[in-house]
């Protein structure tokens, strides 16, 4: 019985020792997504030009962007429902429904995650009190990280609207 116990302890020690060694080769991934996944809280700024006016407005309350890592090293971003108050410009509130942009790869030349997701997503949008589901006919998202902060720049256009919009979110990981 003592021999069996000694053999089991020796086997467990060998497994634990082997599990602690890691490789230090040039096959390491420079893109460490494990440290960026999480929920980020902050403000989003929506800007666009229409009828000769340059408009820029923050969302009305802090929002949470959720960033998930994918097994292939890409990330996915859940853009939350947001309200932007353009009543001073006689447009009322613009409410953009939540939507996701998935499989955003890391672009070494931009030092950020980047994806052109045109025509691959849709969102409900409330403008002038009317709700409509729009295909996002232009969509380019850039996601960059610095410590526990994220910056998401989302250039997008809903359907046949005459303008493209730029949403710039800056948030801190919870």
Quick: pLDDT tens for 77-135.
999 999 988 887 777 788 989 999 999 999 999 999 999 999 998 999 987 778 899 99
Mean pLDDT throughout 7-30? Answer: 42
| Buried-exposed string 39-50: b where 16+ CB fall within 10 A, e elsewhere | ebebebebebee
Quick: pLDDT tens for 136-169.
999 999 999 999 999 999 999 999 988 899 999 9
| More reliable by pLDDT, 148 or 15 | 148
């Amino acid at each position: 019985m003592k021999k069996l116990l000694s053999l089991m302890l020796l086997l467990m020690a060998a497994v634990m020792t082997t599990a602690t060694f890691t490789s230090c080769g040039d096959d390491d991934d420079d893109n460490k997504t494990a440290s960026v996944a999480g929920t980020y809280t902050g403000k989003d700024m929506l800007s666009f030009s229409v009828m000769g006016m340059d408009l820029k407005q923050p969302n009305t309350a802090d929002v949470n962007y959720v960033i998930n890592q994918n097994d292939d090293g890409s990330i996915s971003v859940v853009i939350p429902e947001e309200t932007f108050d353009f009543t001073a410009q006689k447009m009322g509130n613009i409410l953009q429904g939540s939507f996701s942009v998935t499989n955003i790869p890391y672009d070494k030349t931009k030092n950020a995650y980047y994806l052109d997701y045109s025509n691959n997503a849709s969102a409900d949008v409330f403008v002038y009190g009317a709700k409509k589901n729009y295909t996002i006919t232009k969509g380019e998202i850039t996601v960059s990280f610095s410590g526990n902060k994220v910056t998401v720049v989302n250039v997008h256009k809903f359907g046949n609207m005459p303008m493209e919009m730029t949403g710039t979110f800056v948030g801190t990981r919870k």
